[in-house]
Each structure stands twice: as structure tokens, then as C-alpha cells.
Amino acid sequence: MNRFINYTTIIIFGLVFVMPLVWVFVTSISPANEVIRGGNPFWTWNPTFENYVDAWEAAPFLRYYFNTLVIVFGILGVQLITITLAAYAFARFEFPGKNVLFILFLLQLMIQPEILLFPNYQVMSELGLVDTKLAVMLPFWASAFGVFLLRQTFKQVPYELDEASKMDGSKWCQTLRHVYIPAAKPTYIAFSLVSISTHWSNFMWPLIITDSVENRPLTVGIALFAQSYETGAQWGMVSAGTVMVILPLLIAFFIFQKQFVSSFMHSGIK
């Protein structure tokens, strides 16, 4: 009986969360006259892909995709380096004030990103980086969440492997590369998936710091695209643009969903 109730509850919540996605997809393939007339929001008798063609031609989505990929993987690449070095230092090195410094480092997790928008903008303005991809990436090159996650994994690596590596004449960087990084592969996968999904959908900071098409990511581009058509009843085009933004993440999730769940289980996130 309990299992039936649990499954029923999960199905109901799943339907509630999937309904907006279904509505957006159906609207994106519905002719304009059906959308305006207000037919069945979850079904269309005349599916068409004209909305996708019109949306692709109305906005530089190819440029937005390129900008987003550069920003997302530019952030992830530097994050993997910084969190690896910081996590290894906190997990294995002994230095005065280590625990206090780690606690102060974790305070970042309790600070809402919106609070830092104005200070970050001031710094980027003084550096002359406003309206650049580098300005979008720079505030996220360090991740307290990633350091905490990786530190917990590194602390689970037996000290005997450290000693064996030192006896073979390895330096700390070689030990990190050949012992710790391979052991933390599930954690790296988990963090990478979180980082990519977070910065793919990031909106507020790119909106503030970018002013040109050359540097706008998809989230800002689709917002400006929707705003330009909000008075013209072009919901089909707007929905098509929205689907083009979220589709890569949906495909990635369906492909890597098993790795996504198993990565968090191995990395200690319950």
C-alpha cells in the first residue's frame, strides 16, 4: 500500500512538472492561427516546424549557441583546476588556520549570487572587461561547492596510497594526478553536470554584464527575442526559441541520466 501511494505521488508530481514543458513543445509546433484561437494546449492537429525556421532566422541563435558553449566550458575548465588544487590542499596539507579558512570559504554557499552583482560589475568595469565573455566567466572560476564536494572525496582516499606514491619518488602534483584525480572521477562527473546545467541557464549576471550579440548567451538572447515579440502574439516563435534553448540540456540529461544519478551516489550526495 505504501509503495502504491509513493508511486502515485511521484507520478502526480511528475505530471505537474512536465505539463509546462509539453505545453511549450506543442505550442512551438502549432500554427499561429491555432495558438491565437486558443485550442487544445497539449495537442495540435496541424504540426509544423515553421516556427523553428522563423525563430532561427529572426535571431542569431547560432551565435548565441557559440557564446554559451564558450562561457559554459570556459567556466568548467578553470573550475576543475581550481577546485582540484583547493580541495587537495584542504584534504591533505596541514597549515595554520586551515579549518577556519575552510569555514570562511564555505560561507560563499550561504551568499546569494544576486548580492554580488553590483560589486562584481564594479570590478569588471575597473578592469575594462564589461561586455566580454571573460567578464561572464570570471566570477565563477572558483566554486565553494566544488571544493567541498571534492575535498570530501579526497579525504576518503587511503593515506597508504599517498605513502606508496611518495616511496616511488612522486611529488605532490604527481600523486594528485595519478592517485587522487582517478579516484574522484564520479565526483568530477557530478560536479561537471551541475556546473554545465547551472551556467547554461544563468541569466541575471550575463544580462547585466553583456550588451552585444557577440557576447550574449542563449538565456539573454531568448529573453530579448521574446520581449521583441511579446506584443505580436508570436507565441509559436517564442516557444520554438525556448525549446531550442532547453533542448541540449534535455538531450544531455536523457543520455547521461544513469551517470548523473550514480555520480551523486558515489560522491556522497544523498
Confidence at residue 34, expressed as pLDDT on a 0 to 100 scale: 65
Q: Could you write out the DSSP letters of every residue in 173-239?
A: HHHIIIIIHHHTHHHHHHHHHHHHHHHHS--HHHHHH--STTT--HHHHHHHHHHHHTTTT-HHHHH
Q: What is the reported pLDDT for 41? A: 61
Please give the grid coordinates belonging to residue 84: 582540484
- What band does 270 get if pLDDT is binned at 50, 70 and 90? very low
d(CA 105, CA 107): 5
More confident call, 190 vs 140? 140
Q: For residue 52, is pLDDT > 50?
A: yes
Q: Mean pLDDT, to the nearest integer, of 41-53?
A: 75
Structural domains present in the chain: 1-48 (no CATH), 61-266 (1.10.3720.10)
Q: What integer pLDDT is reported at residue 76 of this predicted model? A: 95
Q: What pLDDT score was predicted for residue 14?
A: 80
Q: Is the pLDDT of residue 245 over 90?
A: no
In angstroms, rounded to a whole number, what is the distance separating the alpha carbons of residues 88 and 154?
7
**With DSSP H G I counted as helix, E B as strand and the rest as coil, what are the percentages for the chain, rounded to 5?**
75, 0, 25
Percentage of the chain beyond pLDDT 90 is 24
> 245 CB contacts (<8 Å, ≥6 apart)?
218, 219, 222
Q: State the pTM of this model.
A: 0.84
What local confidence, expressed as pLDDT, does residue 184 receive?
87
Residue 231: predicted pLDDT: 46
pLDDT for 259:
64
Question: Per-residue pLDDT tens for 59-109?
Answer: 888 999 999 999 999 999 999 999 999 999 998 888 888 888 888 888 888
Q: What is the pLDDT of residue 82?
A: 94
In this predicted structure, the answer to whether residue 140 has a pLDDT above a threshold of 70 is: yes
The model's pLDDT over 3-34, given as tens digits with 9 standing for 90+, comes to: 778 788 888 888 888 888 888 888 888 876 66
pLDDT, mean of residues 238-264: 77
What distance, in Å, lies between the first and last C-alpha atoms of the chain? 25
Q: Which one has a higher pLDDT value, 128 or 114? A: 128
pLDDT for the residue numbered 25:
85
> Taking the alpha carbons of 258, 260, 266, 270 in that order, is the dihedral positive or negative?
negative
Under 8 Å CB-to-CB from 123, ≥6 apart: which residues?
A: none
Residue type, 240: A
Alpha-carbon gap, residue 162 to 171, rounded angstroms = 10
Is 102 strand, coil or helix?
helix
Please name the amino acid found at residue 58: A
Radius of gyration of the chain (CA): 23
pLDDT tens, position by position, 160-185: 887 787 777 778 788 888 888 888 88
- For residue 67, CA distances in Å to 139, 221, 239 come to 17, 10, 21
The CA distance from 49 to 250, in Å, is: 19
Q: Is the pLDDT assigned to residue 266 strictly greater than 70?
A: no
Nearest to 250 by CA among 13, 7, 18: 18
147 pLDDT exceeds 70?
yes
